[in-house]
Amino acid sequence: MLHVLLSSIFPVALSESSYGYAAPPFVMEPFYITTGLQNLLADSKAELRYEQFFEFDRISYTVRACLIILEKYYHMHFDHMLPFLFSLKHEGTNMEGFYKTTSLLDFLEVKVKGTPPEITQKRLDHLLKNISDSDLWLEVFSPDIFYFEGIYLAYMSDVTEVETLSRLRKLLLTSDSFSDYDTAKVVANLTRVYLSMFDIEVGIFTVDYPFEKLMLKRYNINYSIIQEELHDLITQEGQHIYTRACRENRIQILANLDQLESPTAIDRKFLDRGFKSLMIVPLRDHKRKVIGIMELASTQPYDFTQVKRLKLKEILPLYDVAMEDSRNAVDNSIQKVIQEQFTNIHPSVFWKFSQTAFDYINSRQGGEDTGQISTVQFNDVFPIFGQIDINSSTAIRNLAVKSDLDRNLYLVADILNLAYDHTRFFIKKN
């Protein structure tokens, strides 16, 4: 009977492909859901959660009910305040989807018992400025005066790609987002969701190309898939996929590692871990210099197609900015420590002081702050050039400059006197 009654809202022909439900007002247990939504929730390991990622999502049910009263009874339109955002997470997997509701209030009525309060513009402004204060809203829209009758209808739209992109943008444009392990882990999972590749591995680390050194310790950004042997493998001589990606400054794909005729040590390392296809993405600064690498690995061959490459390329500038900002944040912290703890430093030994400053920063972040930075020492160093300072050289140099200036002034005076004797032009003499 419910199918017949609600067929004008949820057409039977579209029931399997649409996500919709009907429920009493502000009750999260619907009495009717479409076949498509039933199938979506059929997995016992699927968990549907109400999301509160943005400030807007934290508006309480109480305030949302009051906004409906403003719209239905006082004819003040606040439709944009009503959407709900849900996430569907599958336990034990990286699969996650996002669904946003579109509310249908046509069959919902606001009833009044007693005398409703007058809503002036001043009172409305006060309420909207305190959108998170549920008690304040209840004082105005008391349940003793207002109540709801009817049914609440809603469609759920799949906004996984849009929502994932929004969250990636917010996280990646946050300063030093890659310096924090938990944030980098969230970024990796959102990357899987965005690409709809839930079983792939995602790694991110910093480099300075050519691979003389990876700068892993300096920036502490190393979330590589083959982390334990990364430095030795990537800096070895020869051509491998990381070198090609950085040299050509573009994404590289190995569609099937099993079919490589001469796999490199890196290729074999991925094969040993069960991976069959690989995509390497260079991350660049504003000068297009390679400063980092993102790696994506799949246990299935031919998972990384040109379509996936183009889709990732659309949002790649976000990852570029995040890597550059994370490195800059570390550089700025090191520079600050050096300025506070040391005097002027010659460029040839700056690396030593930089490493000491970085170790000092790490110890403070790890709760091991002793209050003092380590002494910078160069053991077994023999200078091949030197610099000397002559005693009282500054005073002698100043006297020489004064003597030279006196001589030049006398010479100028002689030239002027000679010019006067020959031309008799007017020169005032003191």
pLDDT in tens, 21-70: 888 887 778 888 888 888 888 877 778 777 755 555 567 778 888 888 99
Q: What is the pLDDT of residue 387?
A: 64
- Sequence-ordered list of residues with C-beta below 8 angstroms from that of 72, at least 6 positions apart, any chain: 105, 108, 109, 110
Please tell me the predicted confidence (pLDDT) of residue 236: 60
46 and 16 both lie in a single domain: yes
Q: Are the C-beta atoms of residues 209 and 323 closer than 8 Å to each other?
A: no
Q: Residue 49 — φ and ψ, nearest 5°?
A: -125, 145
Burial, 426: exposed, middle or buried (Cβ in 10 Å; 0-12, 13-18, 19+)?
Answer: exposed
Q: Would you say 148 and 108 are in contact if contact means Cβ atoms under 8 Å apart?
A: yes
Position 153 pLDDT exceeds 90: no
Smallest CA-to-CA distance from 233 within 197, 200, 203, 191 is with: 203
Q: Which of 88, 123, 158 is the last residue of a domain?
A: 158
Q: Of the candidates 90, 128, 102, which has an alpha carbon nearest to the alpha carbon of residue 18? A: 102
Integer Cα distance of 360 and 381 in angstroms:
24
The predicted pLDDT at position 312 comes to 92
Relative orientation angle of helices 241-248 and 265-272, to the nearest 10 degrees: 120
Residue 204 CB neighbours (<10 A): 24
Number of domains within the chain? 4
230 and 369, same structural domain? no
Structural contact between residues 225 and 261, judged by C-beta atoms closer than 8 angstroms:
no
Q: Which range (155-159, 194-198, 229-233, 336-340) has the least confidence? A: 229-233
Residues 73-91, mean pLDDT to the nearest whole number: 75
pLDDT at 219 over 60: yes
What does residue 422 show for φ and ψ, rounded to 5 degrees?
-90, -30
Q: What is the mean pLDDT of residues 182-203?
A: 90
Q: What is the DSSP string of 310-345?
A: HHHHHHHHHHHHHHHHHHHHHHHHHHHHHHHH----
pLDDT band at 82 (very low <50, low <70, confident <90, very high): low
pLDDT at 417 over 70: yes
Phi first, then psi, for residue 162 (nearest 5°) are -65, -45
126 and 189 fall within a common domain: no
Best CA proximity match to 357, nearest among 219, 181, 177, 223? 219
pLDDT tens by residue, 200-214: 999 998 888 776 555
Residue 301 in this model has a pLDDT that exceeds 60: yes
List, in order, residues 6 or more apart from 358 with CB less than 8 Å away. Answer: 217, 218, 220, 330, 334
**Judgement on whether residues 167 and 211 belong to the same structural domain of the protein:** yes
The span from the CA of 423 to the CA of 379, in Å, is: 73
Q: 90-116: per-residue pLDDT in tens? A: 777 777 888 888 888 888 899 999 889
**Mean pLDDT comparison of 213-217, 298-302, 326-330, 341-345, highest-scoring range:** 298-302
The pairing of beta strand 20-23 with beta strand 85-90? unpaired
pLDDT of residue 395: 82
On whether residue 110 sits in a domain, the answer given is: yes
Q: Using omega within 30 degrees of 0 as the cis cutoff, is the peptide bond preceding 83 cis?
A: no
| CB of 238 closer than 8 Å to CB of 262 | no
Could you say which of 111, 138, 158 is where a domain stops? 158
* Residue 383 in this model has a pLDDT that exceeds 90: no
Residues 204, 328, single domain; the answer is yes
- Do 67 and 171 reside in the same domain of the chain? no
- CA–CA dist 267, 278 (Å, integer): 9
The reply to whether 58 and 77 lie within a common domain is yes
Asked, for residue 92, whether it belongs to a domain, the answer is: yes
Q: How confident is the model at residue 380 (pLDDT cuts 50, 70, 90)?
A: confident
Whether residue 396 is found in the same domain as residue 303: no
Q: Residues 225-276: pLDDT tens digits?
A: 887 666 666 666 557 888 888 889 999 999 999 999 888 888 888 999 999 9
Q: Is residue 384 part of a domain?
A: no
Task: Answer yes or no: do 179 and 275 share one domain.
Answer: yes
Q: 0.85 exceeded by the pTM?
A: no
Is residue 34 a contact partner of residue 10, using CB atoms and an 8 Å limit? yes
Q: What pLDDT does residue 11 have?
A: 81
Domain range for 357: 342-379
Is pLDDT larger for residue 356 or for residue 273? 273
Can you give the pLDDT at residue 389? 64
Q: Are the C-beta atoms of residues 325 and 176 closer than 8 Å to each other?
A: yes
Q: E-assigned strands of 59-191? A: 85-90, 96-104, 108-112, 146-150, 152-158
What is the rounded distance in angstroms from the CA atom of residue 171 to the CA atom of residue 274? 31
Task: DSSP letter for 299, please.
Answer: S
Is residue 382 pLDDT above 80, yes or no?
no
Beta pairing partners, 32? 22
The angle subtended at Cα 290 by Cα 366 and Cα 365, nearest 5°, is 5
| The total number of residues written for the chain in this structure | 430
| Residue 87 amino acid letter | S
pLDDT, average across residues 341-367: 73
What are the φ and ψ backbone dihedral angles of 146, each rounded to 5 degrees?
-110, 140
The answer to whether residues 32 and 124 belong to one domain is yes
CA distances to 46, 243, 244 from 238, in Å: 47, 8, 10
Query: Which pLDDT score, from 0 to 100, does residue 333 have?
Result: 81
337, part of any domain: no
Mark whether 263 and 289 lie in a shared domain: yes
Instruction: Please check the confidence at residue 427 and state whether its pLDDT lies above 60.
Output: no
Same domain for 114 and 253: no
